[in-house]
Amino acid sequence: MAHLSTVGEVPSGRVDAPARRPGDDATRPSRPVVRESDSAEFSSRARLAAGPVRQDLVEQVRRQIETGRYATTEKLDVAAERLARDLDLTA
């Protein structure tokens, strides 16, 4: 995989909690973010431009994601290479 340079500085050391604002109640528990599921909606024009959906492939990828087998090192390497090429970072 090509070397990718750091885009920004990452702070090191201890990360302090955000400052409390007046009126914050330290005893009040924060509410967790709850998501039922992710979804997306596409216009009919976008669906037409995309072409036919390969439902067999969609189901295969869905099963791989559910079982934790989708994000492999090889796939991540290919994605990083393509991103570096698209951002012209490989020079």
DSSP calls for 32-64? PP--S-------HHHHHHH----HHHHHHHHHH
If DSSP codes are grouped into helix, strand and coil, which group holds residue 86? Answer: helix
- Determine the pLDDT at residue 55: 94
pLDDT digits (tens, 9 = 90+) for 73-91: 999 999 999 999 999 876 6
pLDDT digits (tens, 9 = 90+) for 51-68: 888 999 999 999 999 999
Count of structural domains, the chain? 1
C-alpha–C-alpha distance, residues 72 and 64, integer Å: 10
**14, part of any domain:** no
**48, part of any domain:** yes
User: Over the range 65-78, which residues count as b (16 or more CB within 10 Å of their CB) and which as e?
Assistant: eeeeeeeeeeeeee
- Determine the pLDDT at residue 56: 95
**17, part of any domain:** no
Please give the residue that has the higher pLDDT: either 39 or 22: 39
Range of the domain at 81: 44-86
pLDDT digits (tens, 9 = 90+) for 4-32: 555 555 455 555 555 555 555 555 556 66
Tokens of 33: 């973010």
C-alpha–C-alpha distance, residues 68 and 61, integer Å: 10
Place 1 in a pLDDT band, splitting at 50, 70 and 90: very low
